[in-house]
Structure 1
Amino acid sequence: MFADDARMRAYEEALRRVVTPRSTVLDIGAGTGMFSFIACRLGAARVWGIEPSEAIQVARDIAAANGFGDRIRFFHGESARVELPGRADVIVSDLRGALPLLPYNIPSIIDARRRFLTPGGVLIGKRDTLWAAPVEAPGHHARFIGPWESRPFGLDLGAGLKMVTNSGHPGTSAAGPIRPLADSQCWGTIDYPAVETPDMKGEFEVAARVRGTAHGILLWFDAELADGITLSNAPGKPELVWGRNLLPLSSPVEVEAGDVFCVTLEARLVGGEYVFGWNTRVTSPDGSPKASFRQSTFHGKAITLETLRRAAEK
């Protein structure tokens, strides 16, 4: 993560604006401690880092090697289960992946804001804006979907095809170019100082600008760390460590300029995991239907009857 220079420089500048010699800084999901060390270098009086993985020992060793041991204290565990000796003036975190909708991101920030942040304290990041666009992505389709459509050895692989078309896939350029077919649309905003639920739902209607083959809905986000300090993993921008997420359509759809995409996106945190749903309807400019799909990552998981029975017995 710290090898992403653009990301690290943006976080450094956001911390520089608010850290003072009297500041207590809390780093949630500290990993190997890079945000904690930056806060120390900027002169924070105290820094607390919380990290659930064994990487915390690396952070402790780096802190000692760089003379930060007297100002940094690392806590091993999930932030919601950790008790701190006080409150922090600044809370910094980056618990995102291709989207901010990872199981531990929003719940951790809500909990930390309530229990650990001083009145008037600062959260870094501040806001994430979620974006989507229908795209043409033949390389991604060929890589992730195509093998299940090919009927190798004459086999019907429909069960596997249903699974992969109801799963999110990496939306980076590694599998080939991605071409937006319509203007990007905002489908949600996470305002970290105010958010109270980890769930998200949005919908949009947008007309295709060009002719092409729609293979899926590409998702990404813009991160506002502080006023005027932003990062984006939007298509066409240099790729960040976060990547992007591609939700495939059940089958490709040939579209003409002017055809309309009606899309509903939903993410619900269920049992410690996000379930994503995406419903897509494509119509001609006169409203006549061309395609309609209802998809969910619930159908993208292989679950045996034995597992379901054991879950029902608990």
Structure 2
Amino acid sequence: MQSGGDFSNGFHRDDHRDLDLEERQVPGLSSFGRAKKRGRGGARDPRGALTNGIRVSDEQKPLDTQGSSLPCTDFDVAYFHSYAHVGIHEEMIKDRARTETYREAIMRHQSLIQDKVVVDVGCGTGILSIFCAQAGAKRVYAVDASDIAVQAKEVVKANGLSDKVIVLHGRVEDVEIDEEVDVIISEWMGYMLLYESMLGSVITARDRWLKPGGLILPSHATLYMAPISHPDRYSHSIDFWRNVYGIDMSAMMQLAKQCAFEEPSVESISGETVLTWPEVVKHIDCQTIKIQELDSVTAKYKFKSMMRAPMHGFAFWFDVEFSEPAKNTSATSVANGSSSISPSREGNQKKRSNPSDALVLSTSPEAPPTHWQQTIVYFYDPIDVEQDQIIEGSVTLSQSKENRRFMNIHLEYTSAGRSFVKESVMR
């Protein structure tokens, strides 16, 4: 499996074509809408002030002129602002699979956290920072670009941890920490793993502060894809128009297809909808990945259908793994296209079958549900596939030039001698 690194989102175009066949969309402007979890990778105090004695910036400069590796754009400001809303953090914290797996990962690695210095990238309300303090960390730098950092500081104070947890209201690219750190923890994953591009902030923190051989939690991540058959969804959105209170409204169907399936859909599907075993789109080693890898990811795939059914699109999901760098052995097997993680078997806190015994948080269709659900790229029209039929092609996931937090998805696929293209944008 070839890898490449991010999600892709496509473009819209009014003349949706069904030639043999291209399904295309041409880029359109829209507000940053799906902010889910990431307004936090690092914001800065816009006044350039000091926070807890740690420098946020040396000079009072506008956001877009600050001397950081990535300029802070208007899109970034809007993104950070979206994470100031308590509802986003409530949704994440109430995701028990997510929050309890992180807490278990921290306690499993307590020996590497106790009396050590930790950075929490995108700390949100500060819950992971507090878990680390409870595990015995000497000091935790909780960094967040959103104004939620103000509440995080109060939460830390209310729990009597202000001497251990230092909340920094600023971007990772801009704040200053005047010591090396032993551990980086971050819940950076977006829909389709890389949507919202927060992993770049983790990489920046790693390159700025992490000691050689330091711990990163999660340590690895793997994005999967597989073709699906989901007739109920298609019927609900499209076939409905064939007969509406006895009126033939099938003239609405083309527009309905464009509106329903133009952009990727975040929803929960069952394992029964998946037509084949999944394949790896991208494997990430958080110790070694470079920011440049996140610009564009291309993966080739070849599926063999396990049943006869209409194929309605492709589903994407991911696993993240919490392990010590020296003990992890998954990179080789995944690079060869065969993940040692069974992507839909044992639930969220799956342990791999190899001796590393790593803790895994899964968002697969057969795992307990998470707030990430699965991301589906639907076709405008289903494709009939036979049992054992080959479905092959490639997927390219890239950061939008319009807004790096948007993802462009370019899908090429061939089945039964017919070739198709589907492009969409995840905003």
The answer to which of 51-60 and 33-42 deviates more is: 51-60
Take 2:122 and 2:184, find their aligned partners in 1: how far apart are those partners?
11
Match for residue 326 of structure 2? none
**1:224 and 2:321 are equivalent in the alignment:** yes
Change (3 A) 1:81 1:295: farther
Shift of 1:89: 0.6
| TM-score (ref. length: structure 1) | 0.84
Amino acid at match of 2:196: P
Alignment of 1:142-221 (within 5 A): 142-143=235-236, 158=254, 161-162=257-258, 164-173=260-269, 179-196=273-290, 197-198=293-294, 199-221=296-318
* Residue in 2 that maps onto 1:275: 408
Report what 1:260 is aligned to.
390
**CA shift at 1:4, angstroms?**
2.3
Conservation of the 8 A alpha-carbon contact between 2:222 and 2:284: yes
SS class of match (2:94) = coil
Alignment match, 2:421: 294
Write out per-residue CA displacement over residues 82-129 of structure 1, whole angstroms, 9 at most, x where no aligned residue: 222322110001111232212332211221111021122111111111
Q: CA deviation at 1:154?
A: 7.0
Residue 214 of structure 1 contacts residue 255 of structure 1 at CA under 8 Å; is this kept in 2?
yes
The question of whether the paired residues in 1 share the 8 Å contact of 2:118 and 2:182 is answered with: yes
1:1-314 paired onto structure 2 within 5 Å: 1-16=92-107, 17-18=109-110, 19-143=112-236, 158=254, 161-162=257-258, 164-173=260-269, 179-196=273-290, 197-198=293-294, 199-226=296-323, 228-271=358-401, 272=404, 273-283=406-416, 289=417, 291-298=418-425
1:71/1:149 CA distance change after superposition, 3 Å: farther
Question: With CA pairs under 8 Å and 6+ residues apart, which has the higher RCO, 1 or 2?
Answer: 2
- Amino acid in the other structure paired with 2:136: G
Q: Indicate if the aligned counterparts of 1:95 and 1:102 stay in contact, CA closer than 8 A.
A: no
Identity %: 24
Specify whether residues 142 and 96 from structure 1 end up closer, same or farther in structure 2 by C-alpha distance, changes over 3 A only: farther
| Equivalent-residue separation in structure 1 for 2:281 and 2:241 (angstroms) | 31
Letter in 2 for 1:260: I
The residue identity in structure 2 corresponding to 1:9 is E
Counterpart amino acid of residue 200 in structure 1: V
Rounded to whole Å, the distance in 2 between the matches of 1:98 and 1:237 is 16
Return the offset for 1:155.
5.4
Q: Distance in 2 between matches of 1:48 and 1:217?
A: 39
Aligned-partner residue type, residue 12 of structure 1: R
Letter in 2 for 1:53: S
| Larger strand share, 1 or 2 | 1
- TM normalised by structure 2 equals 0.63
Cα deviation for residue 163 of structure 1 reads 5.7
Letter in 2 for 1:100: L
CA distance in 2, matches of 1:46, 1:208: 52
Shift of 1:143: 4.6
Counterpart of 1:193 in 2: which secondary structure?
coil
Q: 1:160–1:136: structure 2 CA closer, same or farther, 3 Å change rule?
A: closer
Instruction: Between 140-149 and 57-66, report the one with greater CA deviation.
Output: 140-149
Number of residue equivalences: 292
Q: Please give the alpha-carbon distance, in whole angstroms, between the structure 2 residues aligned to 1:44 and 1:148.
A: 59
1:137 touches 1:177 (CA, 8 Å); kept in 2? no
Q: What is the distance in 2 between the residues matched to 1:147 and 1:34? A: 45
Q: Secondary structure at the match of 2:136?
A: coil
- Secondary structure of the residue aligned to 1:85 is coil
| Cα pair 2:242 2:249 within 8 Å, conserved | no
How many Å separate the matches in 2 of 1:31 and 1:81?
Answer: 17
Contact 1:137 1:178 in 2 (8 A): no
From the superposition, tell whether residues 237 and 42 of structure 1 become closer, same or farther in structure 2 (CA, over 3 Å): same
Partner-residue secondary structure (3-state), 1:81: coil
Q: Secondary structure at the match of 1:297?
A: strand
Tell me how far apart the structure 2 counterparts of residues 7 and 64 of structure 1 sit (CA, whole Å).
24
Contact 2:243 2:249 survives alignment (8 Å): no
1:149 CA displacement: 8.7
Provide the aligned C-alpha RMSD in A: 2.5
Structure 2: state its 5+ residue gaps: 1-91, 324-355
8 Å Cα contact 2:304-2:389 kept in structure 1: yes
Kindly provide the amino acid, as one letter, of the partner of residue 297 in structure 2: M
